């Protein structure tokens, strides 16, 4: 009796291999989609932040709202317990394109 030299994969082995490859591809696509979404949101946030900072620096935009805060306490502890009181206001700016907001504390000049 002559033996048959079997080369290659059986049908079961091929199906299992394709199933494993399919699972890996699904996980990779979900991960890639998540990374792309986070990257897009980060780029949108950075662009809105840059636009707001540019408007503030050029004096093109006034704050949407001002909240005056008196007696903000800044505690500094470098070699001891030193405290300083700073009066100022919080300015809120909104980027018209994205609707994102940034709040800035502006101390009083005196």
CB distance 87 to 57 below 8 Å: no
User: In the predicted model, what is the mean pLDDT of residues 42-54?
Assistant: 80
SS3 content of the chain, % helix, strand, coil (to 5): 45, 30, 25
Considering its fold, how many domains does the chain have in total?
Answer: 1
Instruction: State yes or no: pLDDT of 35 exceeds 90.
Output: yes
Is the model more confident about 81 or about 44? 44
**Is there a domain that residue 1 lies in?**
no
* Domain membership flag for residue 6: no
Distance CA(54)–CA(41), nearest Å, equals 20
Match 């199906």 to its residue by tokens: 15
Boundaries of domain holding 99: 11-107
Return the sign of the alpha-carbon dihedral for residues 76, 82, 83, 88: negative
Q: What global pTM score does this model have?
A: 0.46
Average pLDDT in the 15-35 region?
A: 95
């Amino acid at each position: 009796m002559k033996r048959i030299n079997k080369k290659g994969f059986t049908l079961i082995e091929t199906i299992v291999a394709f199933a494993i490859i399919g699972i890996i591809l699904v996980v990779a696509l979900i991960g890639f989609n998540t990374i792309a979404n986070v990257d897009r949101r980060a780029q949108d946030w950075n662009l809105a932040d840059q636009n707001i900072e540019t408007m503030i620096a050029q004096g093109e935009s006034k704050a949407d709202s001002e909240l005056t805060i008196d007696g903000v306490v800044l505690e500094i502890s470098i070699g001891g317990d030193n405290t300083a009181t700073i009066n100022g206001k919080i300015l809120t700016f909104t980027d018209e394109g994205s609707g994102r907001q940034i709040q800035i504390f502006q101390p009083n000049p005196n």
